[in-house]
Amino acid sequence: MFVQPKNLDLLYMIKKLLILFVFCSILTANAQYTPVINSNRPGFSESPYSVGSGVYQFETSLFYRKMNATPTFSNPEALGLNLFFRTSFFSEKLEFNVNTSLQRDKIAFKNIFESSYNKTGLSQFSLGAKYMIYAPKYDDKSKEIRSWKARHSFDWKRWIPHIGISAGMNVGSFLTDYHERGGFSPKVGILLQNEFSDKLNVITNLHYDYIGTDFSQFSYIVTGTYNFNDYWSGFAEIQGIFEEYEKKTNIGAGAAYLFSENLQFNASLRANLQQDEIGVYSSLGVSYRLNRHKDDFVEIDEFGNKIEEEKPVKYDENRNFFGRMFSKVGNLFSKKEKRKDDLDTEPSNSKLLNEKPKRERQGSLVDMIIKEDKKQKKKTAKEERKAAKKAKKNAEKEAKRKEKERLKLEKKIKKEEEKEAKRKEKERLKLEKEIKKLEEEIKKEEQQEKEKEKEKEDN
């Protein structure tokens, strides 16, 4: 009997542990979930990574913005609260999010005279999703033990970014009048992230927002983040927004503190550059995640390969009318298995002579095909009726939406015309009042001159 040495058992165990370690490392590299919270705040940019399945993350910030009023209508001052909710399901690389802001605006009018009023309400509401489409793999320098230079040299592959795409829908039907930009408008974006080291990351975003409206805009954001230690990190950011009639630039910096694995505090300060005016934007925020993430386990063999169940192949699936007919005809002419009788149960010759062969009755081939074809036609007709009904319902819904938008636009135009008429009437009254005042002053001066002339004549 052959006895395996203990050293071979030990080597076999080490081999299995090494295979398991490599497999777990691959899963960790492809997963989006991180042990600690991964927040986009306090920056305006968005990472291509998702929060991971089973995670519900809330990113809030209290902000204040102040700048000088510009001619005609402007929003020089605002105080509000922003909420960015993120979650992931279906896939580790797919994330769904909701972004909304509630703020108190100071709306100013500056022309011949200046006036202002305050208004509170929603200034932003959008639904979105993002998906990471590419994640590069970097060399593990810790495994390089022969050369100090090779171990500490820069990996030029880190210039290749992680790539994600985002898409969403802006909902403007229930925002305040100043921030309303039509009903529904789509938005798309490209999200890039370069991990130059374990401490330094650079995020670049390109966005095309409010597509198909009169307020469409293109913007870019570049954010550099540096981790000082396990708790503190800082960032610097520049954002450019290009609209049809104006350009805006935001330059800012800030810091974040990791209080626990699910809680982060952050703060930022920015300079707003708009129409030769410089404003200030500051924010304080909190990010918290509700972690319900569960790791998926994959069954592997002793070599580290994934074990997959073989699915039975169905050759009769997705056949048309002629395919089913030829299948039925083939079954009729297929050879039947010969009947095998046991040797000890052989019947007598008299029984074989008296016994008549039985004839099995088979169903009509044409009837079977016609029946199946009628069933398929009935199913197709039902689907067509259902699709027509759905299309009609969508058309009615779209017509109602357009009618609602038309009425709303007419109401808005009428309101602006009334407002403009009131403004002109107010200016006219003001001018008449000033003219009247000037006439009184002229009369007063003429009367004083007459009195002076009279005094001279008397003297």
H/E element holding 250? Answer: strand 247-260
- Strand pairing class (217-227; 114-134): unpaired
Please tell me the distance from the alpha carbon of residue 27 to that of residue 368, in angstroms, as a whole number.
52
Highest mean pLDDT among 13-22, 113-122, 322-331: 113-122
Q: What is the pLDDT of residue 197?
A: 87
**Residues 171, 184: contact at Cβ < 8 Å?**
yes
Rounded (10°) angle between helices 321-332 and 365-458: 160
Given a cut of 80, whether residue 316 has pLDDT beyond it is no
Please tell me the distance from the alpha carbon of residue 211 to that of residue 186, in angstroms, as a whole number.
6
Return the structure tokens found at 12.
Answer: 């076999």
Q: Position of tokens 């099995």?
A: 360
Please tell me the distance from the alpha carbon of residue 44 to that of residue 167, in angstroms, as a whole number.
16
**Domain-wise residue ranges, the chain:** 18-140+155-291, 417-454
> Model confidence at 21, in pLDDT bands (50, 70, 90)?
very low
- Pick 260 or 153 by higher pLDDT: 260
Give the predicted TM-score (pTM) of the model: 0.57
Query: Nearest to residue 219, comparing CAs of 195, 184, 190?
Result: 190
Given a cut of 90, whether residue 303 has pLDDT beyond it is no
Given a cut of 80, whether residue 25 has pLDDT beyond it is no
Please tell me the distance from the alpha carbon of residue 127 to that of residue 74, in angstroms, as a whole number.
27
Query: Nearest to residue 238, comparing CAs of 248, 254, 249?
Result: 249
Return the structure tokens found at 278.
Answer: 């410089």
Return the structure tokens found at 143.
Answer: 């495994």
- Pick 312 or 127 by higher pLDDT: 127
Q: What is residue 225's three-state secondary structure?
A: strand
Q: What is the pLDDT of residue 154?
A: 75
> Model confidence at 1, in pLDDT bands (50, 70, 90)?
very low
Q: What is the pLDDT of residues 235-278, one digit of tens each?
A: 999 999 999 888 999 999 999 999 999 999 999 999 999 878 89
Question: Is domain 18-140+155-291 annotated with CATH 1.10.760.10?
Answer: no
> Model confidence at 26, in pLDDT bands (50, 70, 90)?
very low
Task: Kindly report the average pLDDT of the chain as a whole number.
Answer: 81
**Residues 256, 35: contact at Cβ < 8 Å?**
no
- 164 CB-near residues (< 8 Å, 6+ apart): 47, 48, 49, 130, 131, 132, 133, 190, 191, 192, 193
Given a cut of 50, whether residue 20 has pLDDT beyond it is no
